[in-house]
Amino acid sequence: MSYVDLSSPEVVSDPYPIYAELRREGPAVRVDPEGMWAVTRFSDVVQVLRRVDAFSSAPGEGDREQLFEKAFGGPNIIGADNPTHDRLRYIMQGRFTPKHLARLQGRVETLSRDLLAQTAGSREFDLVSSYTVPLPVIVIAELLGVEADRVDDFKRWSNALVKIVNAARGEERAGAIAEVGELATYLAGMAERRRREPADDLIGALVAAENQPGRISPGEVLSYCILLLAAGNETTTNLIGGMVNALIQNPDQLALLRRDPGLIKNAVEEGLRYCSPVQGLFRRVHEHTELSGVTIPAGSRVWVCYASANRDPDRFENPDDFDITRDCRGHVAFGWGLHFCLGANLARREARVAIEHLLPILDEVGLRDRVEWLPSWVIRGPQALPFERAA
Ligand code: HEM
What is the identity of the amino acid at 138? I
My answer on whether omega of the bond before 83 falls inside 30° of 0, hence cis, is yes
The per-residue pLDDT for 63 is 65
Q: How far is CA 164 from CA 53, 172, 351, in A?
A: 26, 9, 27
Contact call for residues 190 and 225 (beta carbons, < 8 A): yes
What is the identity of the amino acid at 180? V
Cα 343 to averaged position of ligand 1 atoms, centre (Å): 6
The per-residue pLDDT for 2 is 67
Closest C-alpha residue for ligand 1 atom 32: 343
Query: Which residues does residue 124 pair with via DSSP β-bridges, in sequence order?
Result: 388
Q: Which atom of ligand 1 is nearest to the CA of 283?
A: 16
Contact call for residues 64 and 165 (beta carbons, < 8 A): yes
Q: Mind listing the domains of the chain with CATH numbers? A: 9-53+64-389 (1.10.630.10)
Cα 185 to averaged position of ligand 1 atoms, centre (Å): 24
Rounded Cα gap, residues 24 and 99, in angstroms:
42
Residue to mutate (ligand 1; options 341, 342, 352; most atoms within 8 A of CB): 341
Q: How many residues are present in the chain?
A: 391
The packing angle between helices 134-144 and 234-249, to 10°, is 150
Smallest CA-to-CA distance from 45 within 357, 348, 335 is with: 335
Query: Which residues does residue 386 pair with via DSSP β-bridges, in sequence order?
Result: 126
The per-residue pLDDT for 167 is 62
What is the identity of the amino acid at 361? I
| Strand pairing report for 281-285 and 301-304 | antiparallel
Rounded Cα gap, residues 138 and 135, in angstroms:
6
Residue to mutate (ligand 1; options 235, 273, 331; most atoms within 8 A of CB): 235
The per-residue pLDDT for 39 is 98
Segment 167-194, tens digit of pLDDT: 666 777 788 888 888 888 999 999 999 9
DSSP 263-284: GHHHHHHHHHHHH-SB--EEEE
Query: Which residues does residue 55 pair with via DSSP β-bridges, in sequence order?
Result: 285
Q: How far is CA 222 from CA 52, 111, 147, 176, 338, in A?
A: 25, 27, 16, 18, 22
Query: Which residues does residue 282 pair with via DSSP β-bridges, in sequence order?
Result: 303
Rounded Cα gap, residues 285 and 297, in angstroms:
8
Cα 346 to averaged position of ligand 1 atoms, centre (Å): 10
Q: What is the CA radius of gyration of the chain?
A: 21
Q: Which atom of ligand 1 is nearest to the CA of 277?
A: 5
Rounded Cα gap, residues 97 and 112, in angstroms:
21
Q: Which atom of ligand 1 is nearest to the CA of 340?
A: 12
Closest C-alpha residue for ligand 1 atom 34: 342
Cite the beta strand spans of the chain per DSSP E: 29-30, 36-39, 55-56, 124-126, 281-285, 289-291, 294-296, 301-304, 365-367, 386-389
Closest C-alpha residue for ligand 1 atom 3: 235
The per-residue pLDDT for 271 is 98
The per-residue pLDDT for 301 is 93
As a dihedral over the C-alpha atoms of residue 263, residue 269, residue 270, residue 275, rounded to 10 degrees, the angle is: 140
Number of neighbouring beta carbons within 10 Å of residue 167: 11
The per-residue pLDDT for 234 is 84
The per-residue pLDDT for 166 is 66
Q: Which residues of the chain have pLDDT under 70?
A: 1-2, 61-71, 165-169, 213-214
